[in-house]
Structure 1
């Protein structure tokens, strides 16, 4: 009981302070409040170790924390549970100072959550819950619950800002034929997030199609990022041969975090996507750029040209109005399935004028499709 009360006193002391406190300052406070007796230097060192053990427990019982170099402590240890929001920061010399996470303090003062923050939490809970790490969701559960209460109160009061209505008035929608998102195991996504944060390799068991149904393959990978291509989610990684590989999250059957690290300082997921590495090429040996010239018929009340001007294919695109009935789109592109399907989706309104190789791509699909209906 004495240990329990002393640890509560440490949390109360840190909660009432706005600056980090050293272990020695915490010891002095406990002595002043009668939780530890004042003593000579030898006895003081023993009491200091008691306080260190208390802090270690409050931090999440992180093994070896006080034995490791603070700069290297996170390299070898699992992420602590840290149920009390305790943070350790460098102090003068080689010491450490302690404070409670400022965000964690808000859990005890929910009634002051403003409406704009409540709607931000509500949007996060609604649209990102299936993408956030489980540990993050666990930490934010109380925020989500209070946000919902704030929104409900704003509705009952008929407040000028109806944040609850705003939350319910924003949805994601897939353009074209919508597809259901497949279920995936959040445990594997959590492990992938840990591996990305720590730059650690993983062992991944993946379901692949086979002639007699399906089977699994095991890969050793360096995970680089997660890409949302709704309704699909992909893991982007490097295999042991240094080749980029993509894996659908819903086909992952198991992920194990390995101890080996990898270097990814030069990798940019955004640059990787901009370079077209997630595109599917019609001819994998032909990844060159082509100057596409596309004639589009204009119709009364048509929004296609306006949409193309507002949402260009890429930065090289230009649109010229040739007449009241036709516009010409010029843009530098690659021969991808995505481009071909987009042109086909325009139907008879679009005609590829150049280059001939992309004209042939469209012609081949249309000819084969027509044969299916003859």
Structure 2
């Protein structure tokens, strides 16, 4: 028998379980039938309904709803199920990922992953004598620098944004403008999604315009997926990001950084270099070191250099020197 025999009812039911969405999403019998056919299974709607009603719903936490026209099926939203059985190493990875993602993803998005996280936690707790389970108690993922709490995104908004993006459909939103301080209704053509620190952004064009804009997900107060297809174009995420306002870059080039470092800072950069061509040289009659490295010509590099404070003195490029001096004078005036 082949690995996926279309005549094997057990294989068909396993594939069917993987096609049923979690509540509040649902799929009709006809939608599930079409999805099974796309995967090589030929089955009548009556047989499929019998599989769902008589076999699967008695063994799995399935929800059946009658919308007046057909039956629609969902998994219970809190159902903890994994097909196939959870692997211990994979459960550990999910457990550690949960600690990392809580610094990055909005609460509403984390809630969608909670059933998978709970399954991993339960699996590890059930293995009392497996040494892997102790890792979850002894390993932590810490943010690099000060981590802000993720902006809160409505669960329904995230669901509809994701659906519109993946299905390339237009999205009707009510968006709170940060500049104008008012809510505006608009039709978006989703292109991509980017996350930077605690904020996630939808990249889209608006209405009949072709220029791209970005929209913070937590400022979308309402989102509705439309039946109309979004503008189809060759959007290139990598080409767009260097120009995005939420990306602290002014270009894609590099500059040569020359700076003197305190021994503590030099030690850090010796272990975790700024670039592949980084050079550290001793300075005469001093315990400081001279740094030379090719670095991105962007705001993020400048912010990092400024954050080092009195343990670094920049010599080149001159533009960095001027901006660091100006920032230091402004800071001095505040204090």
Which TM-score band applies after superposition, normalised by the shorter structure? 0.5 to 0.7
Partner residue, 1:11: none
Asked whether 1:19 is paired with 2:5, we answer yes
Quote the Cα distance in structure 2 between the aligned partners of 1:298 and 1:235: 41
On the 8 A contact 1:90/1:96 being kept in 2, the answer is no
Q: 5 Å matches for 1:339-358?
A: 339-358=301-320
Partner residue, 1:50: none
Secondary structure of the residue aligned to 1:221 is strand
Aligned residues between the structures: 282
Secondary structure of the residue aligned to 2:36 is strand
Larger Rg: 1
Q: Please report the TM-score for the alignment, with normalisation by the length of structure 2.
A: 0.66
On the 8 A contact 1:121/1:147 being kept in 2, the answer is yes
- 1:118/1:287 Cα in 2 relative to 1: closer, same or farther (>3 Å)? closer
Asked whether 1:233 is paired with 2:219, we answer no
- 1:166/1:293 Cα in 2 relative to 1: closer, same or farther (>3 Å)? same
Quote the Cα distance in structure 2 between the aligned partners of 1:127 and 1:320: 33
Partner residue, 1:153: 126
- 1:306/1:186 Cα in 2 relative to 1: closer, same or farther (>3 Å)? farther
Cα offset, 1:332, TM superposition: 4.4
User: Per-residue CA shift, 1:78-117, capped at 9, x if unaligned?
Assistant: 973679976413489xx956899xxx9995987x543223
User: Per-residue CA shift, 1:22-60, capped at 9, x if unaligned?
Assistant: xxx99xxxxxxxxxxxxxxxxxxxxxxxxxxxxxxxx88
Q: Please report the TM-score for the alignment, with normalisation by the length of structure 1.
A: 0.60
Partner residue, 1:183: 152
User: Per-residue CA shift, 1:170-197, capped at 9, x if unaligned?
Assistant: 4443322332222221211111110111
On the 8 A contact 1:295/1:353 being kept in 2, the answer is yes
CA RMSD of aligned residues (A): 4.3
- 1:133/1:191 Cα in 2 relative to 1: closer, same or farther (>3 Å)? farther
Q: 5 Å matches for 1:1-374?
A: 18-21=4-7, 80=27, 87-90=35-38, 96=42, 107=81, 113-123=86-96, 137=112, 141=115, 144-155=117-128, 158-159=129-130, 161-163=131-133, 165-209=134-178, 214-240=181-207, 241-263=209-231, 266-273=234-241, 275=242, 277=244, 278-280=246-248, 287=251, 289=253, 291-299=255-263, 303-309=267-273, 312=274, 318-323=278-283, 325-336=288-299, 338-373=300-335
Cα offset, 1:168, TM superposition: 4.1
Secondary structure of the residue aligned to 1:177 is coil
User: Per-residue CA shift, 1:312-347, capped at 9, x if unaligned?
Assistant: 3x66x53342546213232243342x2322111011
Secondary structure of the residue aligned to 2:263 is coil
On the 8 A contact 2:157/2:223 being kept in 1, the answer is yes
- 1:288/1:199 Cα in 2 relative to 1: closer, same or farther (>3 Å)? closer
